[in-house]
Structure 1
C-alpha cells in the first residue's frame, strides 16, 4: 500500500477527496456523497459516516494508505470536532491526532492565504466573508442564511428577481415589462403560475432557490436591464463584505470565490469598481488538494498552530 496524505472537502451535495504523496503530488482524487458537520443530528451523523466510509473504500481500492487527514466540512462547529474525528478515525484507521478538521470556509481561506494574509469572500448558494489572523482570531461577516442575509449570493439573486417580477405583475397585471427575466425564471421553476413558484420556493431548500440565479444570468446575457441591475447589485453587496472586513481588520488583498462569480462578467466588474484601491482576485481554489498539502508544507505548520488556537 502506498502511503498518502488525504485531503477532504465535505459539502452538502458532494464530498471531494484528494490523496497526495510526500512531495505534494496528486496520486488520486474522487468524489463521494455529500454530508454536513451537523453530527448532533443522527441522520446527518449517519450521512457523514457513510461519506467517510465511501472515501475509505475508494482510497483502499486505489492501493493507498492514508497517514493523515485534513478536512473542511460545511456546517462545522468546534463542539463537533471530537465526534467528527472519531468517525474519521473509525472509517480510515487513523489515530485522532493524525486528523485535523475545520469549517469549509476556513479551509478555503487556507487554500489561498497564510493566516492573516488576506480576506476571503465566498459567494455560492449563500455568501460570507472571513479573515483568519495568525493567533486564530476569526472575523466573519455575512453568512447568516437566506432569510435575513447572504446578500449577493445565488439565493439572494434569485429572490431579488422574483421580487422584481411580482412587483411588476402587481403594478401592471402582466409580465410584459419584465418578460425576458420572467421567462428565464419560470423556465427553471417549471411553470409560470403562482402555485408553481410557491411550491418551488417554499417546498424546496436554499440550493433549489439559488439555482434560479442561472435564469437571471441568462436574462442578463440576452440584454435584460433588470437582470443586469440585479447582478450588478450582487457585485456591490459582495464588495460590501470585503469593505466590512477591511473596516474591522484592516485592508488586505481580497480573494473572491464561488459559483456566483461565474454567472456573468458584470458581477466581477462591479466588485472591482467598488474596490478600486484593493488587490482583488478570483482564484480557482481546490480545497481538497489544499487540505492534503497542508499536512506537509510550511504553510501547513503555520495553519496547524493557528487552528490549534481556534480550539
Structure 2
C-alpha cells in the first residue's frame, strides 16, 4: 500500500495501534498485550519488546512516520525507547515522535491552552499544556502511592477492605457479593489466588479486577457502590486542581475506569458541573493522524505549536 502513518497507545491493560493513509483515513487497527515505557526494568523492557514485535508484525506496510504514546514514559529514557521502536518497526529515528500516554490523549482532544484532561485507566493523571508548551501535571504517581479513582486503586481498595472484614469477622458478611466477584476474576476462591494476582507485578491485571467491583455494585453490594462514588470524587478532585492551578477551562475525563460504571461519571459531573466533559477518545487513531501531521510539520510537538 502507499505510505502508512502509525499511531500507538501503549498502556498497562493493552497496546492499541492504528494506521492512517495519506488522506488521514484509518486503514488498519488492532491491539496486542499491554506494556509501558519503564525500560530500566528488564522485565518491563521485555514486555515492551513483545508488544512492539506484535505491532510490527501486523503493519500493512512500512511506516513513513509514527507517534507513540506510552504509559510510564520518561523523556530521559527516550533514546532507549526510540531504539526499541525503530528496530522493531524499521523506522528511521527522525520519523518517530514519542509522548507519554496522557500527552497523547490531551493532543487528541485539545490544542495547547484549550482545556484540561484527567485520564483514568489502570492509573490516573491530570494534565494541562499551556500555549508555550509548559506542562501542569497532577496525580500520576502510581498505585503504590496514590492513583485515587483509577481502576487499580478501585481494585486494591476493594481487596483491602474485604480482607480487613475477613480479619475482623472471619467471613465477608454483607460483602459476600464483592468477595465472589473478586475471587471469580482472580480465577480462584481465596487468598492464594488474590495474592498471586496482586504480587505478580502486573498493573494491568490488577486494574482489570476493578470490573469485579462494578459487577458487585450492580448486584447490590453497598460497599462497592460507595467505593465507585468515592472513585468519582477522587477523579473530580484532580479536575478541580487543574482548574485552580491551570485556569477556568473545560476538563475532559477519559479512560477505561470511567466505563466501569455510570456512577463514576455521574459523581464527577455532580462535582464539576458543565465544565466536565466525557468525550469519545480513540488515542491510537488520534496518534496515527498526528503522525501524518508531524510528517508534514516536524514542529507540531514543539512549544507554541498545536
SS of alignment partner, residue 295 of structure 1? helix
1:8 aligned to 2:5? no
Hey, what does 1:155 align to over in structure 2? Answer: 152
After TM superposition, give the deviation of residue 16 of structure 1 in Å.
Answer: 2.4
2:197 to 174, 196, 200: 200
Hey, what does 2:166 align to over in structure 1? Answer: 169
Give the superposed CA RMSD. 2.7
TM-score, structure 2 length as denominator?
0.88
1:288 aligned to 2:284? yes
Asked if 2 retains the 8 angstrom alpha-carbon contact of 1:168 and 1:177, the reply is no
1:114 aligned to 2:111? yes
Runs of at least 5 residues in structure 2 that lack an aligned partner in the other structure: none
| d(CA) in 2 for partners of 1:41, 1:10 | 16
Hey, what does 2:302 align to over in structure 1? Answer: 305
1:182 to 168, 171, 179: 179
| Residues 126 and 43 (structure 1), Cα distance of their counterparts in 2 relative to 1, 3 Å cut | closer
| d(CA) in 2 for partners of 1:48, 1:251 | 38
| d(CA) in 2 for partners of 1:126, 1:5 | 28
Asked if 2 retains the 8 angstrom alpha-carbon contact of 1:6 and 1:70, the reply is yes
Q: Mean alpha-carbon deviation: is it higher for 5-14 or for 129-138?
A: 5-14
| d(CA) in 2 for partners of 1:265, 1:206 | 23
Instruction: For residues 77-111 of structure 1, give each alpha carbon's deviation from its aligned partner in whole angstroms, at most 9, with x where no partner exists.
Output: 11122233333333444432221111111111111
Aligned residues: 304
After TM superposition, give the deviation of residue 297 of structure 1 in Å.
Answer: 4.6
Hey, what does 2:87 align to over in structure 1? Answer: 90
Asked if 1 retains the 8 angstrom alpha-carbon contact of 2:7 and 2:18, the reply is yes
| d(CA) in 2 for partners of 1:195, 1:84 | 36
User: Which has the higher Rg, Structure 1 or Structure 2?
Assistant: 1
| Residues 239 and 226 (structure 1), Cα distance of their counterparts in 2 relative to 1, 3 Å cut | same
1:128 aligned to 2:125? yes
| Residues 226 and 138 (structure 1), Cα distance of their counterparts in 2 relative to 1, 3 Å cut | same
